[in-house]
Amino acid sequence: MNMTPIIQLNDLYKSYGSTPVLKGINLNVSPGQVVGYIGPNGAGKSTTIKILIGMLPDYAGEATVLGMDVKTNSLEIKRRIGYVPENAALYDTLTPMEYLQFIGQLYGLETGQIERKALDLLRLFQLNDYTNARMTTFSKGMRQKVLLISGLLHNPDVIFLDEPLSGLDANAVVLVKEIIRQLANSGKTVFYSSHIMDVVEKISDRIIIINQGQIIADGTFAELQHQRPESLEQLFAELTGSEGQTGVAEEFIHTLKN
């Protein structure tokens, strides 16, 4: 098996103005891994992903994807990766088929191939009755399904997912979890950011916890649990300093009653 890292970050630093967001991130991701990249809001998760997909070129350090430098090979990398953000513009006046035709053509797919794949994928996400409906009336979950399809339509080698389960119903969550697992089984690499701890715990080969712009834990769930025999949620709270939420919740309920 080729174990050359698919993703590499060396001494990655990024600031917004005078505010540092990433403070020396170092990591290597191997082919076929599902990496759960988790941390509190503002920890630097989305910033890391946006650098890796070529959206934020202004950074210090080295970032490579598929053996290519992100700064000098951004366009080629974008052709070979998939990206599903938490929120994205979907051009509401388009139908799912029109939108997916547009995305597919950007990746150089043929019109007939796009239509065939789009119909099949929309059916699997139970959107076949909405193929030609304007997306202005779509719920957040329906939009997220279209986003997921658009990010995977061209069969990318590496998939970056930033809160991909946002707005999905329970059945769709189960389906996406299984899709991620089978993508990895087929040799794809999945870099996955989420706040849903039980999902990260169940689907990730490796879990990286980032806090205040630095990696503070890295390993399989079993390895992390061996260090601290807790659930991922408890471990996350302990490492990121967000313990004591029970007391906060009790105070919240008490305030509601008064």
| Domain regions of the chain by residue span | 7-90+138-248
Residue 41 has what DSSP assignment? Answer: T
pLDDT digits (tens, 9 = 90+) for 77-109: 999 999 998 777 788 899 999 999 999 999 999
DSSP secondary structure letters along 145-204? HHHHHHHHTT--SEEEEESTTTT--HHHHHHHHHHHHHHHHTT-EEEEE-S-HHHHHHH-
Chain centroid to CA 81: how far? 12
Q: Which of 7, 56, 37, 63 lies closest to 204 in space, CA to CA?
A: 37
What's the order of all strands across the beta sheet hosting 189-193? 81-84, 158-162, 189-193, 34-38, 206-211, 214-219
Query: Are the C-beta atoms of 97 and 129 separated by less than 8 Å?
Result: no
pLDDT number for residue 255: 39
pLDDT digits (tens, 9 = 90+) for 21-78: 999 999 999 999 999 998 888 889 999 999 999 999 899 999 999 999 999 999 999 9
pLDDT number for residue 33: 92
Element (H, E) at 106: helix 96-106
Residue 3 phi/psi, 5° resolution?
Answer: -105, 15
Query: Are the C-beta atoms of 184 and 35 separated by less than 8 Å?
Result: no
Q: What distances in angstroms separate CA 133 from CA 84, 92, 104, 127, 225, one per listed residue?
A: 22, 10, 19, 10, 47
Q: What angle do CA 60, 51, 10 make, to 5 degrees?
A: 45
Residue 119 has pLDDT above 50, yes or no: yes
Residue 233 has pLDDT above 70, yes or no: no
Residue 181 confidence class, pLDDT cut points 50, 70, 90: confident
Residue 242 has pLDDT above 70, yes or no: no
Q: How many CA atoms lie within 13 A of 149 on its CB side?
A: 33
Residue 40 burial by CB count (10 A; 0-12/13-18/19+): exposed, middle or buried?
Answer: middle
pLDDT number for residue 82: 95
Structure tokens at 122: 């929309």
Q: Which CATH entry fits the domain spanning 7-90+138-248: 3.40.710.10, 3.30.2320.30, 3.40.50.300, 3.40.50.12780?
A: 3.40.50.300
Residue 238 has pLDDT above 90, yes or no: no
Structure tokens at 203: 């689907």
Residue 249 has pLDDT above 60, yes or no: no
